Copies of this chain bind each other. A is one copy, B any other.
Amino acid sequence: MQDISFLIGGEAGDGVMRTAELLGKAFNRLGLYSFVINDYPSLIRGGHNFCKVRASNHQVWSHLEAVELVAALNQDTISRHENELTKDGLVLFDSDKASYKGSYKAYPIPLSSMVKEVGGIPIMRNSAMIGAIAHLYGIPLEPVNEILTWAYGKRAEKNITLAKMGFDHAKQNFDPILKLEPVKRDPTPFISGVEAVSLGAVKAGMKVYIGYPMTPSTRILSFMGTHQDELGIAVIHPENEIGVANMALGVAYGGARCMVGTAGGGFALMQEAFSMAGQSEIPAVFVVGQRPAPAVGVPTYTAQADLRFVLHVGHGEFPRIVVAPGDPEEAFVKGGEAMNLAWRYQVPVVVLVDKHLLESYMSIAIDERKVNVEPSSVAESWDGEYKRYKFTDSGVSPMVFPGTLGAVVKVSSYEHDEHGYAIETPEGVTNMLQKRLRKMEGIIEDLKKRETVKIHGDPKAENLVVAWGSTKGAALDAMQLIDKPLKFLQVMYLSPFPTWDVEDHLKQAKDIVCVEVNMTGQLRSLIREQTGHYIEKAILKNDGRPFDPVGLSGKLKEAFGWK
Protein backbone atom coordinates (compact mmCIF):
# COMPACT_ATOMS: atom_id res chain seq x y z
CA MET A 1 0.00 0.00 0.00
CA GLN A 2 1.33 3.38 -0.97
CA ASP A 3 0.37 6.40 1.09
CA ILE A 4 2.33 9.62 0.78
CA SER A 5 1.94 12.79 2.77
CA PHE A 6 3.82 16.02 2.32
CA LEU A 7 3.48 19.69 3.08
CA ILE A 8 4.01 22.73 0.91
CA GLY A 9 4.38 26.04 2.67
CA GLY A 10 5.14 29.64 1.91
CA GLU A 11 3.82 33.11 2.37
CA ALA A 12 0.30 34.13 1.49
CA GLY A 13 0.60 35.13 -2.14
CA ASP A 14 3.31 32.56 -2.87
CA GLY A 15 0.82 30.30 -4.60
CA VAL A 16 0.99 27.42 -2.19
CA MET A 17 -2.65 26.43 -2.43
CA ARG A 18 -2.69 26.42 -6.17
CA THR A 19 0.42 24.27 -6.22
CA ALA A 20 -1.00 21.77 -3.79
CA GLU A 21 -4.21 21.57 -5.75
CA LEU A 22 -2.34 21.01 -8.99
CA LEU A 23 -0.32 18.23 -7.43
CA GLY A 24 -3.43 16.69 -5.95
CA LYS A 25 -5.05 16.85 -9.33
CA ALA A 26 -2.01 15.31 -11.01
CA PHE A 27 -2.08 12.39 -8.56
CA ASN A 28 -5.79 12.03 -9.15
CA ARG A 29 -5.26 11.81 -12.88
CA LEU A 30 -2.69 9.12 -12.31
CA GLY A 31 -5.40 7.09 -10.69
CA LEU A 32 -4.20 7.72 -7.18
CA TYR A 33 -6.56 9.01 -4.52
CA SER A 34 -5.48 12.35 -3.23
CA PHE A 35 -6.49 14.70 -0.46
CA VAL A 36 -5.39 18.32 -0.02
CA ILE A 37 -6.09 20.44 3.04
CA ASN A 38 -5.17 24.08 3.22
CA ASP A 39 -4.30 26.22 6.22
CA TYR A 40 -4.12 29.98 5.93
CA PRO A 41 -4.67 32.95 8.21
CA SER A 42 -7.11 35.73 7.48
CA LEU A 43 -4.93 38.08 5.46
CA ILE A 44 -3.97 38.65 1.87
CA ARG A 45 -0.18 38.70 1.69
CA GLY A 46 2.74 37.74 3.86
CA GLY A 47 1.19 35.44 6.45
CA HIS A 48 2.07 31.79 6.54
CA ASN A 49 0.11 29.46 4.26
CA PHE A 50 0.51 25.77 3.88
CA CYS A 51 -1.17 22.74 2.45
CA LYS A 52 -0.88 19.10 3.24
CA VAL A 53 -1.09 16.76 0.30
CA ARG A 54 -1.81 13.11 0.65
CA ALA A 55 -2.02 10.53 -2.09
CA SER A 56 -2.50 6.81 -1.98
CA ASN A 57 -3.43 3.87 -4.11
CA HIS A 58 -6.51 3.31 -1.96
CA GLN A 59 -9.28 5.77 -1.19
CA VAL A 60 -8.23 8.30 1.46
CA TRP A 61 -10.68 10.51 3.33
CA SER A 62 -8.44 12.87 5.13
CA HIS A 63 -5.04 14.48 5.32
CA LEU A 64 -2.35 13.24 7.68
CA GLU A 65 -0.82 15.54 10.23
CA ALA A 66 2.59 13.92 9.92
CA VAL A 67 4.42 14.31 6.62
CA GLU A 68 7.50 12.74 5.12
CA LEU A 69 8.38 15.87 3.20
CA VAL A 70 8.24 19.57 3.90
CA ALA A 71 8.49 21.56 0.69
CA ALA A 72 9.30 25.09 1.74
CA LEU A 73 9.17 28.24 -0.31
CA ASN A 74 10.53 30.17 2.66
CA GLN A 75 12.42 29.76 5.91
CA ASP A 76 9.32 30.15 8.03
CA THR A 77 7.82 27.01 6.61
CA ILE A 78 10.78 24.97 7.74
CA SER A 79 10.83 26.27 11.26
CA ARG A 80 7.09 25.92 11.68
CA HIS A 81 6.74 22.44 10.26
CA GLU A 82 10.00 20.58 10.81
CA ASN A 83 8.44 19.01 13.88
CA GLU A 84 5.67 17.47 11.80
CA LEU A 85 8.12 15.32 9.85
CA THR A 86 8.19 11.55 10.21
CA LYS A 87 11.38 9.85 11.21
CA ASP A 88 13.06 9.80 7.81
CA GLY A 89 11.58 13.08 6.78
CA LEU A 90 13.04 15.41 4.21
CA VAL A 91 13.16 19.16 3.90
CA LEU A 92 13.00 20.40 0.35
CA PHE A 93 13.48 24.15 0.16
CA ASP A 94 14.28 27.10 -2.03
CA SER A 95 17.95 27.43 -1.26
CA ASP A 96 17.89 31.01 -2.48
CA LYS A 97 15.47 31.94 0.27
CA ALA A 98 16.12 29.56 3.09
CA SER A 99 18.66 27.27 4.63
CA TYR A 100 18.36 24.19 6.77
CA LYS A 101 20.77 22.74 9.26
CA GLY A 102 18.50 20.58 11.31
CA SER A 103 18.38 16.87 11.92
CA TYR A 104 16.33 15.89 8.90
CA LYS A 105 17.78 15.43 5.48
CA ALA A 106 18.07 18.70 3.58
CA TYR A 107 17.20 18.92 -0.11
CA PRO A 108 18.14 22.44 -1.16
CA ILE A 109 17.04 23.57 -4.56
CA PRO A 110 17.67 27.03 -6.03
CA LEU A 111 14.12 27.77 -7.13
CA SER A 112 14.51 31.53 -7.31
CA SER A 113 17.62 31.27 -9.46
CA MET A 114 15.84 28.92 -11.79
CA VAL A 115 13.02 31.39 -12.18
CA LYS A 116 15.50 34.17 -12.85
CA GLU A 117 17.22 32.01 -15.40
CA VAL A 118 14.11 31.63 -17.49
CA GLY A 119 13.01 35.24 -16.89
CA GLY A 120 9.93 34.21 -14.95
CA ILE A 121 8.11 35.79 -12.04
CA PRO A 122 8.49 34.67 -8.43
CA ILE A 123 5.21 32.76 -8.33
CA MET A 124 6.69 30.37 -10.92
CA ARG A 125 8.92 28.91 -8.24
CA ASN A 126 6.03 26.59 -7.67
CA SER A 127 6.46 24.92 -11.02
CA ALA A 128 10.08 24.09 -10.35
CA MET A 129 9.02 22.84 -6.95
CA ILE A 130 6.37 20.68 -8.58
CA GLY A 131 9.02 19.22 -10.86
CA ALA A 132 11.22 18.37 -7.91
CA ILE A 133 8.36 16.80 -6.00
CA ALA A 134 7.45 14.76 -9.08
CA HIS A 135 10.91 13.29 -9.05
CA LEU A 136 10.75 12.55 -5.34
CA TYR A 137 7.61 10.50 -5.87
CA GLY A 138 8.74 8.89 -9.07
CA ILE A 139 6.24 10.59 -11.31
CA PRO A 140 7.24 11.29 -14.92
CA LEU A 141 7.02 14.80 -16.30
CA GLU A 142 4.22 14.14 -18.80
CA PRO A 143 1.31 14.22 -16.39
CA VAL A 144 2.85 17.23 -14.67
CA ASN A 145 3.11 19.09 -17.94
CA GLU A 146 -0.45 18.20 -18.76
CA ILE A 147 -1.65 19.73 -15.53
CA LEU A 148 0.44 22.86 -16.04
CA THR A 149 -0.97 23.26 -19.51
CA TRP A 150 -4.48 22.78 -18.16
CA ALA A 151 -3.82 25.36 -15.47
CA TYR A 152 -1.93 28.02 -17.40
CA GLY A 153 -3.00 27.49 -20.96
CA LYS A 154 -0.88 29.51 -23.33
CA ARG A 155 1.17 30.88 -20.47
CA ALA A 156 2.25 27.38 -19.45
CA GLU A 157 5.48 27.28 -21.37
CA LYS A 158 7.83 28.78 -18.79
CA ASN A 159 6.18 26.75 -16.10
CA ILE A 160 6.83 23.59 -18.05
CA THR A 161 10.44 24.56 -18.49
CA LEU A 162 10.75 25.23 -14.78
CA ALA A 163 9.11 21.94 -13.90
CA LYS A 164 11.72 20.20 -15.96
CA MET A 165 14.50 22.19 -14.32
CA GLY A 166 13.18 21.28 -10.90
CA PHE A 167 12.80 17.67 -11.92
CA ASP A 168 16.28 17.47 -13.35
CA HIS A 169 17.86 19.17 -10.39
CA ALA A 170 16.14 16.77 -8.07
CA LYS A 171 17.05 13.78 -10.16
CA GLN A 172 20.69 14.73 -10.06
CA ASN A 173 20.81 15.57 -6.38
CA PHE A 174 18.11 13.81 -4.41
CA ASP A 175 17.13 10.25 -3.81
CA PRO A 176 13.49 9.67 -4.57
CA ILE A 177 11.21 8.86 -1.65
CA LEU A 178 9.36 6.17 -3.48
CA LYS A 179 7.98 5.44 -6.86
CA LEU A 180 4.25 6.01 -6.91
CA GLU A 181 2.47 3.34 -8.89
CA PRO A 182 -0.31 4.72 -11.06
CA VAL A 183 -3.59 2.90 -10.52
CA LYS A 184 -6.09 1.85 -13.15
CA ARG A 185 -9.49 2.94 -11.99
CA ASP A 186 -12.50 4.86 -13.23
CA PRO A 187 -11.59 8.51 -13.20
CA THR A 188 -13.14 10.55 -10.39
CA PRO A 189 -13.14 14.23 -9.84
CA PHE A 190 -10.67 15.81 -7.48
CA ILE A 191 -13.06 18.21 -5.91
CA SER A 192 -13.96 20.13 -2.77
CA GLY A 193 -17.22 20.62 -0.93
CA VAL A 194 -17.64 24.05 -2.47
CA GLU A 195 -18.07 22.76 -5.99
CA ALA A 196 -19.87 19.61 -4.98
CA VAL A 197 -22.61 21.31 -2.99
CA SER A 198 -23.01 23.89 -5.72
CA LEU A 199 -23.37 21.30 -8.45
CA GLY A 200 -25.78 19.27 -6.37
CA ALA A 201 -28.04 22.27 -5.97
CA VAL A 202 -27.86 23.11 -9.66
CA LYS A 203 -28.64 19.54 -10.62
CA ALA A 204 -31.69 19.80 -8.37
CA GLY A 205 -32.89 22.80 -10.31
CA MET A 206 -31.26 25.78 -8.59
CA LYS A 207 -31.47 28.88 -10.78
CA VAL A 208 -30.31 31.62 -8.41
CA TYR A 209 -27.49 31.74 -5.92
CA ILE A 210 -27.28 34.62 -3.47
CA GLY A 211 -24.46 35.27 -1.09
CA TYR A 212 -22.66 37.95 0.85
CA PRO A 213 -19.02 36.87 1.05
CA MET A 214 -17.99 35.17 4.25
CA THR A 215 -15.34 32.53 4.76
CA PRO A 216 -15.70 29.59 4.28
CA SER A 217 -18.67 30.11 1.95
CA THR A 218 -17.14 32.85 -0.15
CA ARG A 219 -15.77 30.27 -2.54
CA ILE A 220 -19.26 29.05 -3.31
CA LEU A 221 -20.05 32.57 -4.49
CA SER A 222 -16.87 32.58 -6.55
CA PHE A 223 -17.54 29.18 -8.07
CA MET A 224 -21.14 30.01 -8.87
CA GLY A 225 -20.04 33.36 -10.27
CA THR A 226 -17.33 32.04 -12.54
CA HIS A 227 -19.53 29.17 -13.77
CA GLN A 228 -22.81 31.04 -14.02
CA ASP A 229 -23.09 30.68 -17.77
CA GLU A 230 -22.34 26.96 -17.95
CA LEU A 231 -24.70 26.37 -15.06
CA GLY A 232 -27.43 28.61 -16.41
CA ILE A 233 -27.83 30.47 -13.15
CA ALA A 234 -27.96 34.03 -11.86
CA VAL A 235 -25.59 35.00 -9.07
CA ILE A 236 -26.27 37.90 -6.75
CA HIS A 237 -24.16 39.49 -4.07
CA PRO A 238 -26.38 42.08 -2.36
CA GLU A 239 -25.95 44.60 0.46
CA ASN A 240 -25.89 42.22 3.44
CA GLU A 241 -27.07 38.86 4.75
CA ILE A 242 -30.48 40.13 5.74
CA GLY A 243 -30.95 41.23 2.17
CA VAL A 244 -29.64 37.87 0.95
CA ALA A 245 -32.12 35.81 2.91
CA ASN A 246 -35.16 37.96 2.26
CA MET A 247 -34.27 38.16 -1.42
CA ALA A 248 -34.03 34.39 -1.57
CA LEU A 249 -37.60 34.17 -0.30
CA GLY A 250 -38.63 36.54 -3.06
CA VAL A 251 -36.93 34.42 -5.71
CA ALA A 252 -38.72 31.27 -4.58
CA TYR A 253 -42.03 33.10 -4.31
CA GLY A 254 -41.40 34.23 -7.86
CA GLY A 255 -41.00 30.61 -8.91
CA ALA A 256 -37.28 29.93 -9.20
CA ARG A 257 -35.19 27.61 -7.04
CA CYS A 258 -32.67 29.49 -4.97
CA MET A 259 -29.86 28.74 -2.56
CA VAL A 260 -27.89 31.02 -0.29
CA GLY A 261 -24.56 30.48 1.42
CA THR A 262 -22.99 32.00 4.49
CA ALA A 263 -21.09 31.24 7.71
CA GLY A 264 -22.29 31.28 11.32
CA GLY A 265 -22.14 35.05 11.74
CA GLY A 266 -23.98 35.72 8.52
CA PHE A 267 -26.50 33.04 9.33
CA ALA A 268 -27.10 34.75 12.67
CA LEU A 269 -28.31 37.72 10.66
CA MET A 270 -30.61 35.53 8.57
CA GLN A 271 -32.55 34.12 11.46
CA GLU A 272 -35.57 36.34 11.18
CA ALA A 273 -35.87 35.50 7.49
CA PHE A 274 -35.42 31.82 8.29
CA SER A 275 -38.37 32.07 10.62
CA MET A 276 -40.21 33.89 7.84
CA ALA A 277 -39.53 30.98 5.51
CA GLY A 278 -41.10 28.75 8.15
CA GLN A 279 -44.14 30.97 8.52
CA SER A 280 -44.71 31.72 4.86
CA GLU A 281 -43.79 28.17 3.77
CA ILE A 282 -41.43 29.37 1.11
CA PRO A 283 -38.78 26.83 0.08
CA ALA A 284 -35.29 28.01 0.95
CA VAL A 285 -31.90 26.32 1.14
CA PHE A 286 -29.13 27.73 3.31
CA VAL A 287 -25.58 26.43 3.11
CA VAL A 288 -23.94 27.25 6.41
CA GLY A 289 -20.18 26.87 6.60
CA GLN A 290 -18.91 26.53 10.13
CA ARG A 291 -15.74 28.15 11.40
CA PRO A 292 -14.54 28.79 14.93
CA ALA A 293 -16.73 31.34 16.65
CA PRO A 294 -18.22 33.14 18.64
CA ALA A 295 -18.41 36.39 16.69
CA VAL A 296 -15.75 36.72 14.02
CA GLY A 297 -13.73 34.03 15.78
CA VAL A 298 -11.01 32.44 13.71
CA PRO A 299 -12.34 33.13 10.25
CA THR A 300 -10.25 30.89 8.03
CA TYR A 301 -10.34 27.75 10.16
CA THR A 302 -12.80 24.96 10.78
CA ALA A 303 -15.26 23.92 13.49
CA GLN A 304 -18.39 21.90 14.16
CA ALA A 305 -19.70 24.08 16.91
CA ASP A 306 -22.80 25.56 15.32
CA LEU A 307 -24.93 22.44 15.38
CA ARG A 308 -27.20 23.49 18.21
CA PHE A 309 -27.34 27.04 16.91
CA VAL A 310 -28.45 25.87 13.49
CA LEU A 311 -30.96 23.34 14.82
CA HIS A 312 -32.85 26.02 16.69
CA VAL A 313 -32.54 29.07 14.48
CA GLY A 314 -35.47 31.37 14.17
CA HIS A 315 -38.14 32.23 16.66
CA GLY A 316 -41.27 30.12 16.85
CA GLU A 317 -42.06 26.54 16.01
CA PHE A 318 -41.96 25.26 12.47
CA PRO A 319 -40.49 22.29 10.64
CA ARG A 320 -36.97 22.68 9.40
CA ILE A 321 -34.52 20.24 7.90
CA VAL A 322 -30.82 20.17 8.75
CA VAL A 323 -28.47 17.89 6.88
CA ALA A 324 -24.71 17.60 7.31
CA PRO A 325 -22.79 15.88 4.54
CA GLY A 326 -19.38 14.48 5.39
CA ASP A 327 -17.50 14.59 2.10
CA PRO A 328 -17.86 16.18 -1.34
CA GLU A 329 -19.90 13.30 -2.73
CA GLU A 330 -22.37 13.65 0.10
CA ALA A 331 -22.30 17.42 -0.33
CA PHE A 332 -23.38 16.88 -3.91
CA VAL A 333 -26.13 14.42 -3.04
CA LYS A 334 -27.38 16.15 0.08
CA GLY A 335 -27.12 19.58 -1.53
CA GLY A 336 -29.49 18.32 -4.19
CA GLU A 337 -31.65 16.53 -1.65
CA ALA A 338 -31.89 19.73 0.38
CA MET A 339 -33.24 21.59 -2.62
CA ASN A 340 -35.72 18.85 -3.45
CA LEU A 341 -36.95 18.55 0.13
CA ALA A 342 -37.32 22.32 0.44
CA TRP A 343 -39.51 22.36 -2.63
CA ARG A 344 -41.51 19.30 -1.78
CA TYR A 345 -42.31 20.33 1.78
CA GLN A 346 -42.02 24.11 1.49
CA VAL A 347 -39.67 24.40 4.42
CA PRO A 348 -36.29 25.98 5.07
CA VAL A 349 -33.41 23.54 4.81
CA VAL A 350 -29.88 23.98 6.11
CA VAL A 351 -26.93 22.21 4.58
CA LEU A 352 -24.49 22.34 7.47
CA VAL A 353 -20.88 22.13 6.41
CA ASP A 354 -17.58 23.55 7.58
CA LYS A 355 -14.38 25.02 6.29
CA HIS A 356 -12.66 21.63 6.20
CA LEU A 357 -15.31 20.05 4.02
CA LEU A 358 -15.83 23.10 1.84
CA GLU A 359 -12.21 23.87 1.09
CA SER A 360 -10.36 20.56 1.20
CA TYR A 361 -10.01 18.73 -2.12
CA MET A 362 -10.21 15.00 -2.53
CA SER A 363 -10.55 12.28 -5.14
CA ILE A 364 -14.06 11.00 -4.89
CA ALA A 365 -16.57 9.50 -7.25
CA ILE A 366 -19.64 11.61 -7.92
CA ASP A 367 -22.54 10.04 -9.76
CA GLU A 368 -24.64 12.86 -11.05
CA ARG A 369 -27.60 10.55 -11.55
CA LYS A 370 -28.04 10.51 -7.80
CA VAL A 371 -29.50 14.00 -7.96
CA ASN A 372 -32.45 15.02 -10.08
CA VAL A 373 -35.26 17.46 -9.86
CA GLU A 374 -37.80 15.49 -7.85
CA PRO A 375 -41.54 16.07 -7.96
CA SER A 376 -42.31 19.12 -5.89
CA SER A 377 -45.48 20.53 -4.41
CA VAL A 378 -46.07 22.93 -7.28
CA ALA A 379 -49.68 22.65 -8.44
CA GLU A 380 -50.88 22.45 -12.01
CA SER A 381 -54.50 23.04 -11.14
CA TRP A 382 -56.78 23.46 -8.15
CA ASP A 383 -60.42 23.45 -7.23
CA GLY A 384 -62.32 26.65 -6.57
CA GLU A 385 -60.51 29.70 -5.41
CA TYR A 386 -56.79 29.16 -5.07
CA LYS A 387 -55.64 28.89 -1.45
CA ARG A 388 -51.93 29.24 -0.87
CA TYR A 389 -52.25 27.67 2.57
CA LYS A 390 -54.96 25.12 1.92
CA PHE A 391 -55.39 22.69 4.77
CA THR A 392 -54.34 19.22 3.71
CA ASP A 393 -53.65 16.01 5.52
CA SER A 394 -49.98 16.23 4.76
CA GLY A 395 -49.83 19.87 5.79
CA VAL A 396 -48.35 20.66 2.38
CA SER A 397 -50.46 23.05 0.30
CA PRO A 398 -50.20 23.03 -3.47
CA MET A 399 -48.05 25.95 -4.53
CA VAL A 400 -48.32 28.23 -7.53
CA PHE A 401 -46.48 31.40 -8.41
CA PRO A 402 -47.58 34.93 -9.20
CA GLY A 403 -48.32 35.20 -12.87
CA THR A 404 -50.61 32.17 -12.76
CA LEU A 405 -53.92 32.96 -14.37
CA GLY A 406 -56.77 32.82 -11.92
CA ALA A 407 -54.67 32.47 -8.79
CA VAL A 408 -54.10 35.14 -6.18
CA VAL A 409 -50.98 34.09 -4.34
CA LYS A 410 -50.72 35.67 -0.92
CA VAL A 411 -47.89 34.84 1.46
CA SER A 412 -47.56 36.35 4.89
CA SER A 413 -45.30 36.84 7.86
CA TYR A 414 -48.38 36.99 10.08
CA GLU A 415 -50.23 33.92 11.16
CA HIS A 416 -52.84 33.54 8.48
CA ASP A 417 -55.81 31.66 7.13
CA GLU A 418 -55.81 29.36 4.12
CA HIS A 419 -55.88 32.31 1.74
CA GLY A 420 -53.00 34.01 3.47
CA TYR A 421 -54.95 36.74 5.28
CA ALA A 422 -53.82 37.58 8.81
CA ILE A 423 -55.72 36.01 11.68
CA GLU A 424 -55.64 36.06 15.46
CA THR A 425 -58.25 33.64 16.76
CA PRO A 426 -57.05 30.76 18.92
CA GLU A 427 -58.59 28.17 16.62
CA GLY A 428 -57.23 29.79 13.50
CA VAL A 429 -53.78 30.07 15.00
CA THR A 430 -53.80 26.48 16.19
CA ASN A 431 -55.01 25.09 12.91
CA MET A 432 -52.39 26.81 10.82
CA LEU A 433 -49.60 26.06 13.27
CA GLN A 434 -50.57 22.42 13.29
CA LYS A 435 -50.85 22.31 9.53
CA ARG A 436 -47.25 23.42 9.33
CA LEU A 437 -46.03 21.11 12.07
CA ARG A 438 -47.84 18.23 10.40
CA LYS A 439 -45.40 18.44 7.53
CA MET A 440 -42.78 16.95 9.80
CA GLU A 441 -44.54 13.60 9.64
CA GLY A 442 -44.29 13.52 5.87
CA ILE A 443 -40.70 14.61 6.01
CA ILE A 444 -39.89 11.82 8.41
CA GLU A 445 -41.61 9.24 6.22
CA ASP A 446 -39.72 10.60 3.26
CA LEU A 447 -36.38 10.52 5.04
CA LYS A 448 -36.99 6.94 6.06
CA LYS A 449 -36.54 6.17 2.39
CA ARG A 450 -33.34 8.16 2.11
CA GLU A 451 -29.93 7.73 3.61
CA THR A 452 -30.00 9.60 6.92
CA VAL A 453 -27.03 7.87 8.48
CA LYS A 454 -24.22 5.75 7.18
CA ILE A 455 -22.70 2.75 8.84
CA HIS A 456 -19.02 2.29 8.17
CA GLY A 457 -16.61 -0.34 9.35
CA ASP A 458 -17.77 -3.57 10.90
CA PRO A 459 -21.56 -3.48 11.20
CA LYS A 460 -21.44 -6.14 13.87
CA ALA A 461 -18.82 -4.53 16.02
CA GLU A 462 -19.77 -3.78 19.61
CA ASN A 463 -17.65 -0.66 19.77
CA LEU A 464 -19.25 2.28 18.14
CA VAL A 465 -17.90 5.61 16.97
CA VAL A 466 -20.43 8.36 16.36
CA ALA A 467 -19.58 11.47 14.37
CA TRP A 468 -21.05 13.86 11.84
CA GLY A 469 -19.98 16.20 9.07
CA SER A 470 -16.41 16.46 7.94
CA THR A 471 -15.16 14.47 10.89
CA LYS A 472 -16.24 11.51 8.80
CA GLY A 473 -12.94 11.68 6.93
CA ALA A 474 -10.64 11.49 9.92
CA ALA A 475 -12.84 8.86 11.53
CA LEU A 476 -12.77 6.60 8.48
CA ASP A 477 -9.02 6.88 8.15
CA ALA A 478 -8.50 6.43 11.87
CA MET A 479 -10.43 3.17 11.75
CA GLN A 480 -7.93 1.86 9.23
CA LEU A 481 -5.31 2.26 11.90
CA ILE A 482 -7.17 0.27 14.52
CA ASP A 483 -7.07 -3.48 14.25
CA LYS A 484 -10.14 -4.14 16.36
CA PRO A 485 -13.67 -4.46 15.11
CA LEU A 486 -15.21 -1.05 15.09
CA LYS A 487 -18.45 0.35 13.76
CA PHE A 488 -18.84 3.99 12.79
CA LEU A 489 -22.26 5.62 12.77
CA GLN A 490 -22.17 8.77 10.69
CA VAL A 491 -25.23 10.90 11.31
CA MET A 492 -26.19 12.98 8.28
CA TYR A 493 -29.67 14.24 9.09
CA LEU A 494 -29.82 16.24 12.29
CA SER A 495 -33.36 17.57 11.91
CA PRO A 496 -35.63 15.73 11.90
CA PHE A 497 -33.39 13.48 13.93
CA PRO A 498 -33.36 9.96 12.46
CA THR A 499 -34.01 8.06 15.67
CA TRP A 500 -35.29 5.18 13.52
CA ASP A 501 -31.86 4.75 11.99
CA VAL A 502 -29.85 5.65 15.08
CA GLU A 503 -31.43 4.03 18.10
CA ASP A 504 -30.68 0.41 17.36
CA HIS A 505 -27.02 1.07 16.86
CA LEU A 506 -26.82 2.82 20.18
CA LYS A 507 -28.63 0.00 21.90
CA GLN A 508 -26.51 -2.67 20.28
CA ALA A 509 -23.26 -1.00 21.17
CA LYS A 510 -21.30 -1.99 24.20
CA ASP A 511 -19.19 1.11 24.20
CA ILE A 512 -19.70 4.35 22.34
CA VAL A 513 -17.46 7.33 21.63
CA CYS A 514 -18.73 10.52 20.06
CA VAL A 515 -16.20 12.59 18.10
CA GLU A 516 -16.82 16.25 17.26
CA VAL A 517 -14.91 19.44 16.57
CA ASN A 518 -16.59 21.31 19.39
CA MET A 519 -16.12 21.49 23.14
CA THR A 520 -19.65 21.01 24.36
CA GLY A 521 -20.50 17.73 22.66
CA GLN A 522 -23.38 19.00 20.61
CA LEU A 523 -24.30 15.85 18.72
CA ARG A 524 -24.00 14.01 21.98
CA SER A 525 -26.49 16.34 23.65
CA LEU A 526 -28.80 16.02 20.67
CA ILE A 527 -28.68 12.25 20.85
CA ARG A 528 -29.54 12.36 24.50
CA GLU A 529 -32.40 14.74 23.86
CA GLN A 530 -33.76 12.65 21.02
CA THR A 531 -33.16 9.14 22.26
CA GLY A 532 -32.46 9.46 25.96
CA HIS A 533 -29.17 7.71 25.31
CA TYR A 534 -26.26 9.38 27.05
CA ILE A 535 -22.93 8.78 25.37
CA GLU A 536 -20.42 9.03 28.13
CA LYS A 537 -17.26 9.09 26.09
CA ALA A 538 -16.47 11.94 23.82
CA ILE A 539 -13.43 13.11 21.92
CA LEU A 540 -13.79 16.83 21.56
CA LYS A 541 -11.74 19.78 20.45
CA ASN A 542 -12.39 23.16 18.97
CA ASP A 543 -9.09 24.71 17.98
CA GLY A 544 -9.84 25.45 14.37
CA ARG A 545 -8.25 22.29 13.03
CA PRO A 546 -9.92 19.08 11.92
CA PHE A 547 -8.96 15.80 13.52
CA ASP A 548 -5.89 14.02 12.26
CA PRO A 549 -6.56 10.31 11.66
CA VAL A 550 -3.45 9.15 13.46
CA GLY A 551 -4.10 11.26 16.52
CA LEU A 552 -7.73 10.29 16.47
CA SER A 553 -6.97 6.60 16.23
CA GLY A 554 -4.82 6.91 19.33
CA LYS A 555 -7.57 8.70 21.21
CA LEU A 556 -10.14 6.17 20.10
CA LYS A 557 -7.99 3.28 21.25
CA GLU A 558 -7.56 4.97 24.57
CA ALA A 559 -11.27 5.65 24.88
CA PHE A 560 -12.09 2.04 24.11
CA GLY A 561 -9.42 0.90 26.51
CA TRP A 562 -7.23 -0.63 23.84
CA LYS A 563 -3.96 0.76 25.00
Chain A residues proximal to chain B, CB less than 8 Å: 41-42, 242, 263-265, 267-269, 271-272, 274-276, 278-280, 290, 292-301, 303, 305-306, 308-309, 311-318, 412-415, 423-424, 426-427, 429-430, 433-434, 437, 518-520, 525-526, 528-529, 532, 534, 541-545
Beyond A271-B271, A293-B279, A293-B315, whether A543 also contacts B264 by CB under 8 A is no
Q: Is the CB of B301 within 8 A of A309?
A: no
In whole angstroms, how far apart are the Cα atoms of A415 and B315 in the complex?
28
Beyond A269-B271, A311-B312, A424-B42, whether A296 also contacts B414 by CB under 8 A is yes
A358 CB → nearest B CB, Å: 16
**Pairs A–B under 8 Å by Cβ, sample size 9:** A276-B295, A278-B295, A279-B297, A292-B316, A294-B316, A297-B413, A298-B424, A300-B424, A525-B529
Inter-chain contacts of A526 with B (CB < 8 A): 529
Inter-chain contacts of A271 with B (CB < 8 A): 268-269, 271
In whole angstroms, how far apart are the Cα atoms of A295 and B411 in the complex?
12
Q: Is the CB of B272 within 8 A of A268?
A: yes
In whole angstroms, how far apart are the Cα atoms of A279 and B299 in the complex?
13
**How often does this chain occur in the complex, in copies?**
2
Q: Is the CB of A414 within 8 A of B275?
A: no
In whole angstroms, how far apart are the Cα atoms of A545 and B518 in the complex?
39
Interface centre among A295, A298, A525, A543 (most CB of B within 10 A): A295
Interface centre among A315, A426, A525 (most CB of B within 10 A): A315
Q: Is the CB of A268 within 8 A of B433?
A: no
Q: Is the CB of B519 within 8 A of A317?
A: yes
Beyond A268-B271, A268-B275, A317-B519, whether A545 also contacts B294 by CB under 8 A is no
Beyond A308-B312, A424-B544, whether A294 also contacts B317 by CB under 8 A is yes
Q: Is the CB of B295 within 8 A of A316?
A: yes
Which single member of B268, B423, B429, B544 contacts A314 (CB below 8 Å)? B268
Q: Is the CB of A305 within 8 A of B279?
A: no
Q: Is the CB of B315 within 8 A of A434?
A: no
In whole angstroms, how far apart are the Cα atoms of A544 and B414 in the complex?
13
A521 CB → nearest B CB, Å: 10
Q: Is the CB of B316 within 8 A of A543?
A: no
Inter-chain contacts of A267 with B (CB < 8 A): 315
Q: Is the CB of B427 within 8 A of A543?
A: yes
Inter-chain contacts of A275 with B (CB < 8 A): 264-265, 268, 293-295
For A266, give the chain B residue with the smallest CB separation: B272
Beyond A424-B42, A430-B541, A543-B426, whether A264 also contacts B532 by CB under 8 A is no
Inter-chain contacts of A265 with B (CB < 8 A): 272, 275, 315
Beyond A267-B315, A269-B271, whether A279 also contacts B294 by CB under 8 A is yes
Inter-chain contacts of A293 with B (CB < 8 A): 275, 279, 314-317
Q: Is the CB of B542 within 8 A of A433?
A: yes
Beyond A268-B315, A280-B295, A298-B415, whether A437 also contacts B519 by CB under 8 A is yes
A420 CB → nearest B CB, Å: 13
Which single member of B41, B294, B415 contacts A278 (CB below 8 Å)? B294
Inter-chain contacts of A426 with B (CB < 8 A): 543-545
Seed contacts A268-B314, A269-B272, A433-B542; 19 additional CB < 8 Å A-B pairs: A41-B424, A264-B316, A267-B315, A268-B275, A268-B315, A276-B294, A294-B315, A295-B316, A296-B412, A296-B414, A297-B415, A298-B415, A308-B312, A309-B312, A309-B313, A426-B544, A426-B545, A525-B529, A528-B529
A321 CB → nearest B CB, Å: 15
Q: Is the CB of B294 within 8 A of A318?
A: yes
Inter-chain contacts of A276 with B (CB < 8 A): 294-295
The 6 A-B pairs of least Cβ separation, nearest first, read A293-B316, A264-B315, A294-B316, A529-B529, A279-B295, A426-B543
